Amino acid sequence: MNSNLVEWGVAERQKPGETLSGDLHLIKTLESGVLLAVADGLGHGEAAAEAARLALNAVEEYSQKPLVEIMESCNRKLHGTRGVVMSLAFLNALNNSMEWLGVGNVEGVLVRSAPDGKPARESLLLSCGVVGGQMPPLRAAALEIARGDTLVLATDGIQRGFEDSMVLLKGPQETAQDILERDGLATDDALVLVATFQGRQQ
């Protein structure tokens, strides 16, 4: 799928025996870029799915705010639920930059198309905590990005270390499906979102 600024794909499945997944995603195109979110409701089943839905509704409601404010708003909205772990990323097409932020264990990996002296792969530094419960002080990290750089966000239903054997295939959807099939765990809901930065078209 394509939002002009990013080409993206998502692969997901619920835990065997469940009818709903607690792992959900949001991609929202804004005036200056694209906001991506992956939320993993704690546990699995209906209550986890409801917490994740509430989290992404809050992300959409506050999408014009900085990432830290979005996460803090989600935290307030989710009080009284089982909570979620969640990672956010904003890809800014105006200045070719990305900010990202994570609470819990939704992993984020940026794979550069042409490192040019930068690390070929960078990982999101995650903060411990639960959105809707105890959260530490937050700070978003910022990176320069370029056309062709690829962001991967994956819940804990994807085996840790998946990025070590990850191969970027011909498109984000194919890559997401390959990661899910190769590294998805049968013990939990699983979701992987892959987005390749296209930049603003001239």
Amino acid at 13: R
Superfamily of domain 6-197: PPM-type phosphatase domain (3.60.40.10)
Specify the DSSP class assigned to residue 57: H
DSSP assignment of 142-194? EEE--TT-EEEEE-TTBPTTGGGS----SSHHHHHHHHHHHHB-TTS-EEEEE
State pLDDT tens for residues 94-137: 999 999 999 999 999 999 988 777 778 999 999 999 999 989 89
pTM of full prediction above 0.85 = yes
Q: What is the per-residue pLDDT for 202?
A: 47
Q: What is the per-residue pLDDT for 1?
A: 62
Using CA atoms, how far apart are residues 171 and 173, in angstroms rounded to an integer?
6
State pLDDT tens for residues 27-43: 999 989 999 999 999 99
